[in-house]
Copies of this chain bind each other. A is one copy, B any other.
Amino acid sequence: MLSREEQRALEDAVSPVRSIAPNIDLVREGDRADTLFIVTEGWACRYTTTRDGARQLPALLVPGDVANLDSLMFDQLDYGVRTITHIKIVALPRDRALALAAQHPGIARTFTWLGLVENIIQSKWMLSIGRRSALERLAHLLCELSVRLRAANDGQISFAFPLTQEQAGDALGLTSVHINRTMQRLRIEGLISSASRTITIRDVAKMRQAAGFDPRYLHIAPRNAQLAPV
């Protein structure tokens, strides 16, 4: 999507890579932020909270994601950003981001593209949280992540899944206890297996069926197109 020149300009504009430990707030709800953070390695999440402390994650951030796109236009953040694993990020000051966008149409295009995809993903999450059972929700999330992480799909898919069950619950609108029980059901039904924070989807077709998952909404070209179902 970016020309070589644009790629270059972007890399020049960006701060040196910064490493951050797990469970650290990059930004807190309500903070002012005039810098975009781009995840290059590891996992993070956006989070929102109710007055009484309940948490909902509106997004999981994996390598390639921008943590706070809206800082492009808004001073104040409506959510916090917190690391999940050890993570590497680069920072892009808003001024420079806007200047880049003004100068390079491909970069402007990329920003709006990112925003629109985020939007679509959030819509799907809403559908899950509002209308799907716990089993479907969890299955759908795992399917989505397998695609976003571009995990190889050869009938089985394996990928690192570093969330605690509590964090998974916060993403799906469930409690950690219920995540636990739901994960067990997924295992018992032979859909997944997991060991040391790695999930493997044992039968991708069956899993997607159980989740009601159709990868097209992610607008990502599948890694090996000839193998990707539907």
Spell out A's residues near B (CB within 8 Å).
46, 48-51, 54-56, 58-59, 69-70, 72-74, 76, 78-79, 102, 105, 108-109, 111-113, 115-116, 118-120, 122-127, 129-132, 136, 172-173, 212, 216-217, 219
> Can you pick out 12 interface pairs between chain A and chain B where the beta carbons lie within 8 Å of each other?
A46-B123, A48-B127, A51-B212, A55-B131, A59-B123, A69-B119, A73-B113, A74-B116, A74-B219, A102-B105, A112-B112, A122-B122
Name the one of B70, B102, B136 contacting A120, with C-beta atoms under 8 angstroms.
Answer: B70
- Give the residues in chain B near A118, CB-CB below 8 Å: 119
A46-B123, A50-B212, A78-B120 are known contacts; what are 14 more A-B pairs with Cβ within 8 Å? A50-B131, A55-B131, A58-B122, A70-B116, A70-B120, A72-B112, A73-B109, A73-B112, A73-B116, A108-B108, A111-B112, A122-B122, A122-B126, A126-B126
Expressed in whole angstroms, the Cα–Cα distance for A118 and B119 within the complex equals: 8
Name which of A48, A69, A76, A130 has the most chain B CB atoms within 10 A of its CB.
Answer: A130
- Give the residues in chain B near A105, CB-CB below 8 Å: 102
Closest to A59 in B: B123
Query: Contact: B123 with A173, CB < 8 Å?
Result: no
- Give the residues in chain B near A130, CB-CB below 8 Å: 56, 129, 172-173
- Give the residues in chain B near A115, CB-CB below 8 Å: 112, 115-116, 119
Query: Contact: B129 with A126, CB < 8 Å?
Result: yes
Query: Contact: B56 with A131, CB < 8 Å?
Result: yes
Expressed in whole angstroms, the Cα–Cα distance for A210 and B130 within the complex equals: 21
- Give the residues in chain B near A72, CB-CB below 8 Å: 112, 116
- Give the residues in chain B near A116, CB-CB below 8 Å: 69-70, 72-74, 115
- Give the residues in chain B near A120, CB-CB below 8 Å: 70, 78
Query: Contact: A124 with B48, CB < 8 Å?
Result: yes
Expressed in whole angstroms, the Cα–Cα distance for A118 and B58 within the complex equals: 13
Expressed in whole angstroms, the Cα–Cα distance for A119 and B112 within the complex equals: 12
Closest to A54 in B: B131
